[in-house]
Amino acid sequence: MNQFLTQIRQKLNKPTLFGLYGALGCLIAALLFGEGFLALTKTTPSFFRPAQAIALLIDCSGSMDGDKLQEAKNAAIQFVQRQDLTKDQFTVLGFGSDVHLGTPLTSDPYTLETAIANLSDGGGTMMDIAINAAADQLQFAEENRHLLLFTDGIPGSQGTDAIEEANKTLTAGMTAKNNNINLIAVATGDADVNFLTQLTQDRDRVFYASTGDFDRAFRAAEEAIYGKQLVESEDGGNYPLLYSLLRIGIWTGLLAIGTSLSLILGQNHYLHRRLLSFNEGILGFLGGLGAGVAAGAIGQLIYAPVASFPPLAVVGRVAGWAILGTLVGGGMSFFVPNLKSSRALLAGLLGGIGGAMGFLLAAGAMGDIVGRLLGAAILGAFLGVAIALIEQLSREAWLVVHWSPVEQTKISLGDKPVILGSSQDAHVYLRKDKGFPAITATIFTEKDKIIMQFDDKMRELKSMKKLRHELNDGDRRKLGDVLLEVKTLTHRLPN
């Protein structure tokens, strides 16, 4: 195993090594814990859902004849079948020149499906009368009330004044809204989306669909009624706010734990140290959990109100991952010597944004589970690479540790001393059997100087007269099997 890790270390530079560790850590956490947690905490679509009273108002005018009306009916029936009829009630109305009541509010599936199937087409598009009739059916409902309008045209019919019909329809819509009825529109054909936006008073509640795509539009309308989750696209997002925040926060926390611990492992692997100490494990676990819960909850809080508006929904999703990356990156400043917290936070932010975009592309292309797993790997990889690159790009002085003629690592120098010794907590491990004490020396910057300060025990062991040494660019020191070389920014070499 040690030989395998050594080969990896020899062949990969630090950004690549960190990217690999980050990807594996986040992926393993998502696979072993994240998906199981989501599955265990996912409820049926109706578990937390408040009861709904929904009026299905379907345009049956002459322009809807034939296959178009049949497809609309099929989509409406499937819409009803997806709902919880132990809680929800539906009324079905069709309209053309007149309004036809298929059924008043009911929860009986056979009655509803029969009412939808029996809708017939013909005549104009008397939308104002239809909206008023649907609102009347909902007026005594105690549940949350929604009016779902499906239409392929504009208000009115031949021989009527188009402006007058439009104004009457807008008035009907306003009356419904004032009675706390939520208007949602599915448009097709010649339907005027701008007019329907005026009618619903919300562009996010208007969904356009071409023939053959009606079911997708009804599903989008369903999301406008019930909502959805930050990391899920299928049913199951209709949770109370606190439950939703905790659920997504804990899931994100599990991924953050995996990412944090894996990056600590990567840092220790790079420095030839023990891969994980007890204290590092505790700090990585608690820090990752805290960062993940906070980021996931905040991301869900941002995402939930804008989920039905795609551009803002993307911003909401990215925000959660950006926060996660920022916090995880900031935490790595405790484990990477002389990585300033401000730079670590910036690295995490950039890695989180890049990882978020990869996550969204993967989830969109491959579905929820595969997309989440691939997205987790991308997120971890971006975080790892960003942290390692920012560390390298921000160095002003660094220590090159030559472990062998073919293997070296680089450690940033700064105010925080780099510890050399036989302690397992030393940044550069020196073999105890070669006579090196737990803390042999420290190297740090002091103003514009690079100082190597030997420990008092070295005076006793080696009879050293001078413990404090000032080092310059290119200076080398041999300690046992390890050769140390100091480099500064003016002579910076590519990694």
**0.75 cut: is pTM over it?**
no
Alpha-carbon span 492 to 495, nearest angstrom: 9
CATH class of 398-491: mainly beta
Q: Would you state the pLDDT for residue 97?
A: 85
pLDDT at 10: 59
Superfamily of domain 52-226: von Willebrand factor, type A domain (3.40.50.410)
**Separation of first and last alpha carbons in the chain:** 26
pLDDT in tens, 427-473: 999 999 888 999 999 999 998 899 999 999 888 888 888 999 999 99
What is residue 44's predicted lDDT score, i.e. its pLDDT?
A: 52
What is the pLDDT, as a whole number, of residue 236?
Answer: 43
Q: What's 33's DSSP letter?
A: I
Amino acid residing at 308: S
Q: Which two tokens stand for residue 116?
A: 């939808």
What are the tens digits of pLDDT across the range 37-76? Answer: 988 887 654 555 678 899 999 999 888 877 888 999 999 9
- In sequence order, the β-bridge partners of residue 450 are 445, 471
Q: Where are the domains of the chain?
A: 2-42+239-393, 52-226, 398-491
> pLDDT tens per residue, the chain (495 residues)?
556 556 565 566 899 999 999 999 999 999 999 999 988 887 654 555 678 899 999 999 888 877 888 999 999 999 999 888 888 999 999 998 889 999 999 999 999 999 999 988 677 888 999 999 999 999 988 888 999 999 987 887 666 777 888 899 999 999 999 999 999 999 988 888 999 999 999 888 899 988 888 988 888 888 777 655 555 555 444 566 778 788 888 998 999 999 999 999 999 999 988 889 899 999 999 999 998 898 888 887 887 776 656 667 777 778 888 888 898 888 888 889 999 899 999 998 988 888 888 877 877 777 678 878 888 888 889 999 999 999 988 899 999 999 988 889 999 999 999 999 999 889 999 999 888 999 999 999 998 899 999 999 888 888 888 999 999 999 999 999 999 999 998 644 444
d(CA 414, CA 397): 7
Answer for the pair 393, 379: CB distance below 8 angstroms, yes or no.
Answer: no
